[in-house]
Structure 1
Amino acid sequence: MLSSTFDSLVTVPGIGVAAPASDLLRLVAIPVFGWAAYRDVKTRRVPTRAWLPLAALAIALLAWDGYGAYVGGDRLFFVQAAISLGFIVPLVTAFWYMGSFGGADTKAFYVLALLFPAYPIYYLPTTTVPTFQPAIGVFSLTILSNTVVAGALYPVGVAASNLARGRVGLPMVIGKPVATPELTEEYGLLLETPDGFTRRGLDLDALRMYLRWRDCTLAELRADPAAHRDPDSLPAVPGEVGDGNIRTDGGTTPAPSPADYDDPWGAEAFLDDIDGAYGTTPEGLCDGLDVIAAEDEVWISPGIPFLVPTFAGLVLSITYGDVLVSLLRTLGLG
């Protein structure tokens, strides 16, 4: 039963969708998160300013619905809002501190916790969505749950794609083979060391930063690895490394020197100079460069830009509801 004028339904002309005005405004999140997911795939970076308008809208709608719930005596809304902000925000912050979430992923869920504390409702011509709602009805928690479900399907898709292309190997569930000269046009982690397979190899952003720092291209490094292993070949004035995003590299080829050094590849000098690069160690950088210099094709883990399953989780939540709770209930476990 509609409790106040704040809950009055608005119908979208032409498509027959009716919903409270605040819930219709929340649909703005779909194109915003769709754009963010696309940008995350292409650049692995989403600027903070992209979330600010949606965050401002979320705060305004939270105040609007909060006042409507107060006028209508809806105490459940305040419980839902408390769980959404008091649980989701600290949880994703902890994930960020542990390195499981990137900055953009964390900010995205901050916005979702503000924007979707309670389940929205949309009246379509023949049905109502979301179709399945758990008892507590904290929608941001449903989005997080559906995001995890969508993300869990990623390794299955990667393995199927590799198998269909005849790419069979130990890392086929999490990675793909890439021609080594094309590494600077990829995001992800190298899955190989001179000793074999690793799940946490050289970060390709760190590789790009290294190449820019020493002012050389990947082709130049591969053409004469012995010269580049010599720390005396490092430039007197290092180049600007940036954050490792994909762009055009360029530079000069250093002169060759002997092959055995205290700091092969100048790895320690590089990491000391820039104060670290995505957790890369000198040993890890050296191992990665040794593989890159020797192999024409390597396995990398492109990872999954987390905003992609987040977008999928958002759409799935709005159209269906909580997939995980529904599945558990179907199995008699919930």
Structure 2
Amino acid sequence: MRVLGIATAADLLRLLILPGFAWAAYRDIRTRRVASSLWLPLLAIGALALAVEAAGAYPFADYAGRVFLVQTGFSLLFLIPFSVLAYRMAAFGGADMKALVVLAVAFPTTPQYVVPLWILPDVTWLHAVGFPVHPSALGVAAMSALTNAVLFGAVYVLALFGSNLLRGRLSPAMLVGKWTPVSSLPTVHGQLIRVEGLRLHRSLDLDALRMYLRWRGTTLAAVRENPDVFRDPDSVTETNPPTDGAVHDGPRTDGGRDETPENADGGFEFPEAGVADDDATAGDEADAPADDPWAAEQFLDDIERTAYGTTAETLREGLERATSEDAVWVSPGLPFLVPLFGGLLLALTYGDALTVALGALGLV
């Protein structure tokens, strides 16, 4: 039974999930970090909506009841294992996996919404509009949201290719990378790309670069100005918490300005290469390897080697490029929660874009 003629109670409950996904998409764009505490309340809302719908379909004796069981079984028994497997294979991040689990529980069927148009007096020939306009044949909104998100991702790749083509940046990296000024790296997410002939190699993760800069308490601009000093492992006299490398979190030693006291006036006092500070607190250069350019091994040892799979060689190679080149290819990585949120909105309004596309080709 519809509440106020708009939707069932279960489908109205499902609308409460949209603000949470909007916030997650915003955080994914801004910091690539989404608090784990967000997902449990959303999962509880989804589970409540599913329970309400299941109560209405019980005892599942008619055709509609059996269809509900099939759709719910597909959503729970396929999408949840799929999301966990994709996470284990590093195809998804942890937040992406949790978002898909929430969708699988909350949207195992396709909600139906009727928007009355009586408030528009000039529209006398149409009394209401039903959404989604083009639901999928499968009828699982969670699956429609996922396929819509994949299509959004494909559009993003094509747009990236077109942008690079129009700017004359012809390279094997033009499908997956952005030509990025090195000065922008402290506020960019992604990984450096190294091009060798026709082969692409993903290099230093920029979150790891920010961790390194914060650990050393400096900025990329300072490192570029005096690379020889920072290349010397004996120049590490004091270290700081590296944080997790997020752009807008932690001490601002990653984005062109440094708020530490010694840099508050815009100056930076560089230690002389090979000269130690007897008052060093966290980074004792005596523990650094004798041949450890950029103190890369010392950094990884200090943080217990948890910098997004970064190795000493990868860190050194990335720092050499960041101090010797003016622009580099960066694989930005699509923040998947953004197309997933867009895919969910599309699934609840227009419907399943893949179904429509296949129908236009006569394949459905």
TM-score (norm. length: structure 1): 0.87
2:86 equivalent in structure 1: 95
1:59 deviates by 1.2
Q: Deviations over 1:181-240 (max 9, x none)?
A: 2211111111247999744121110000011122222122111112212222223x5311
2: distance between equivalents of 1:170 and 1:200?
Answer: 13
Amino acid corresponding to residue 23 of structure 2 in structure 1: W
2:118 equivalent in structure 1: none
1:202 counterpart SS class: strand
Residues 1:330 and 2:360 are matched in the alignment: yes
1:189 equivalent in structure 2: 191
Amino acid corresponding to residue 91 of structure 1 in structure 2: F
1:255 deviates by 2.7
> Which of residues 50, 56, 66 in structure 1 aligns to 2:44?
56
2: distance between equivalents of 1:134 and 1:181?
Answer: 46
> Structure 2 vs 1, CA of residues 326 and 287 (structure 1 numbering), >3 Å: closer, same or farther?
same
1:5 equivalent in structure 2: none
Question: Which deviates further from its counterpart, 271-280 or 188-197?
Answer: 188-197
Mapping 1:146-157, distance limit 5 Å: 146-157=148-159
> Which of residues 41, 44, 47 in structure 1 aligns to 2:29?
41
> Which of residues 17, 23, 26 in structure 1 aligns to 2:11?
23
Tell me the C-alpha RMSD between the 2 structures: 2.5
1:144 equivalent in structure 2: 146
1:268 deviates by 2.0
> Which of residues 279, 283, 299 in structure 1 aligns to 2:329?
299
> Structure 2 vs 1, CA of residues 256 and 193 (structure 1 numbering), >3 Å: closer, same or farther?
farther
Alignment identity in percent?
46
1:14 equivalent in structure 2: none
2:273 equivalent in structure 1: 256
Q: How many residues align?
A: 320
* C-alpha contact (below 8 Å) 1:268/1:282 kept by paired residues: yes
Mapping 1:1-334, distance limit 5 Å: 8-11=1-4, 18-71=6-59, 73=61, 74-124=65-115, 125-165=127-167, 167-192=169-194, 198-235=200-237, 237-247=238-248, 248-249=252-253, 250=258, 253-257=270-274, 262-274=291-303, 275-334=305-364
1:279 counterpart SS class: coil
Q: Deviations over 1:112-157 (max 9, x none)?
A: 1111011111123443222233443222112111111111111112
2: distance between equivalents of 1:204 and 1:195?
Answer: 23
Amino acid corresponding to residue 271 of structure 1 in structure 2: L
Question: Which deviates further from its counterpart, 17-26 or 246-255?
Answer: 246-255
> Structure 2 vs 1, CA of residues 75 and 109 (structure 1 numbering), >3 Å: closer, same or farther?
same
Question: Which deviates further from its counterpart, 146-155 or 318-327?
Answer: 318-327
2: distance between equivalents of 1:271 and 1:201?
Answer: 16
Question: Which deviates further from its counterpart, 278-287 or 31-40?
Answer: 31-40
> Structure 2 vs 1, CA of residues 72 and 78 (structure 1 numbering), >3 Å: closer, same or farther?
closer
2: distance between equivalents of 1:256 and 1:245?
Answer: 30
1:85 deviates by 1.1
Amino acid corresponding to residue 191 of structure 1 in structure 2: I
1:175 deviates by 2.4
2:329 counterpart SS class: strand
2:122 equivalent in structure 1: none
> Structure 2 vs 1, CA of residues 219 and 20 (structure 1 numbering), >3 Å: closer, same or farther?
same
1:330 deviates by 3.0
TM-score (norm. length: structure 2): 0.80
1:163 deviates by 4.2
1:31 counterpart SS class: helix
1:164 deviates by 4.6
Amino acid corresponding to residue 50 of structure 1 in structure 2: L
Amino acid corresponding to residue 132 of structure 1 in structure 2: H
| Higher Rg | 2
1:153 counterpart SS class: helix
* C-alpha contact (below 8 Å) 1:226/1:257 kept by paired residues: no
